[in-house]
Amino acid sequence: MKKIDPDNLVFLDEIGVLLGFTRTHAPSKCGHRVYDLKPFYRGAKVTVVGAISLKKVVGLRTINGSMECQAFEVFIQHFLVPNLGDSTVEVN
């Protein structure tokens, strides 16, 4: 690792966000309980995948639903690789 130039590193991360969650806690008057009906989860899911280097965001994509193999391949081919530039090292 000591021989690798930190400027050539790219870090990938992915996160899924559920948009339909309801609160689990609520404010109330002292000594009183809060009662509420929580509907069954009906929201959408959004996945965000991104890549950063030490200097910039290299690639970013949002996907409706969960990350699948084909969506990851599209991210790599169309959002990441074209933005890598000449400063990165190709790994075989």
pLDDT over 90 (residue 75): yes
Q: Are 75 and 59 in contact (CB under 8 A)?
A: yes
Q: What tens digit of pLDDT does each residue of 8-32 get?
A: 899 999 999 888 777 777 888 888 8
Domains of the chain, residue spans? 6-24+33-83
Instruction: State residue 78's pLDDT score.
Output: 94
Question: CB under 8 Å to 69, separation ≥6 — which residues?
Answer: none
